Structure 1
Amino acid sequence: MTAKTKDNSNKALLIGHYDPLVPTGRGSWVPYSQTSLEDLLFKFDRAYPEYTDEPREDVIAAWEAANEMMTDTQLLHLEEELKSAWAYEKRAEDEDFAAAYAVSEAIVNRMLKIEAHTLRGFKAKALAISWCHNGDEIDFGEETTDLQLVVSIINDLLAA
């Protein structure tokens, strides 16, 4: 996953398990987890003293894109684990189903304890809710407006 600038150059490059690379200047990149915005701007200013604010804004945009990718890293990783575990659970024979279900349940319980910060994080949590309802249409059995809104939000996230 990469974020792009208006001129289609890379802002942040996602590598490994959700550790984006961000540009430091003159073709060099550094993992997001190993730097700060101040460090990036210092390196950029040293590499490109002739540039004004516009390219510097691209470095800030790259940092912000990387920061957004990193914010819900653990939730996104657990979402991928849940997708795999749920797929296995659906294929499991009767004697293996309980163990497969327990794996999915443990993942969902871990997701429950992590706060979502981005739309992607909330979408991951919506998948966990869908798992709780066996992938069926979500219906809490009440017609109150608040629960209708909850169901609507979950369905919107799953469709996004």
Structure 2
Amino acid sequence: MIAPLPRSMLLRSLSAAPLVDNDCRGSEAMVEDAALVQLGDLLLSAWAEEVRVSRLDEASEEEVFAACAAPMRIADRIEALRASSVAGLTVKALACAWCHGDYGDVYDPQRPKAPQECRLADGIVGDLLAMRVLA
């Protein structure tokens, strides 16, 4: 049986496999994808802390707000970067999942009342998360 790759190693290897020809953007694309991968790790940690604090009975409103603010700042940074690999896109999908409030369980492309473009975007996010690149 082959042991699974550590998530960080997998993300770094995927970030080196661009989806588009990066010659037009040079090394900037690789730098942005590497930053996205690092931000994805930070988001996962901040999200776990947010969940932990929000479940504490003795947590004050200020503590819960601070725990929610940390992943929001990271998501803002993720939003500002352009992805050029599956790893980068998956980090952006993870940020979308955080915004929805749940990792992968909220994406239903069959939502009857959502506009088609929203159903398509939800489907892309769900597909990326289903690839388990960050799991």
CA apart distance, 1:142: 3.5
Of Structure 1 and Structure 2, the greater helix share is in 2
The 5 A counterparts of 1:44-63 are none
What are structure 2's unaligned runs of at least 5 residues? 1-8, 13-26
Residues in 1 aligned to 2:89 and 2:78: alpha-carbon distance in whole angstroms: 10
1:138 aligns with 2:107: yes
CA apart distance, 1:124: 0.4
Specify the code of the residue in structure 1 equivalent to 2:90. K
What are structure 1's unaligned runs of at least 5 residues? 1-13, 19-66
Aligned Cα root-mean-square deviation (Å): 2.3
The answer as to whether partners of 2:32 and 2:81 remain within 8 angstroms in 1 is: no
Residues in 2 aligned to 1:147 and 1:159: alpha-carbon distance in whole angstroms: 18
Residues in 2 aligned to 1:70 and 1:142: alpha-carbon distance in whole angstroms: 39
Correspondence for 2:38 among 71, 77, 80: 77
Residues in 1 aligned to 2:35 and 2:129: alpha-carbon distance in whole angstroms: 19
Q: Label 1:141 to 1:132 Cα distance change in 2 as closer, same or farther (>3 A).
A: farther
Structure with larger Rg: 1
| Residue of structure 2 equivalent to 1:104 | 71
Of Structure 1 and Structure 2, the greater strand share is in 1
The answer as to whether partners of 1:71 and 1:118 remain within 8 angstroms in 2 is: no
Aligned residues: 96
Q: TM-score, normalised by structure 2?
A: 0.63
Deviates more, 1:143-152 or 1:114-123: 143-152
| Structure with greater contact order relative to length (CA < 8 Å, sep ≥ 6) | 2
Q: Where in structure 1 do 4 or more consecutive aligned residues deviate above 4 Å?
A: 67-71
CA apart distance, 1:70: 5.4
Percent identity for Structure 1 against Structure 2: 34
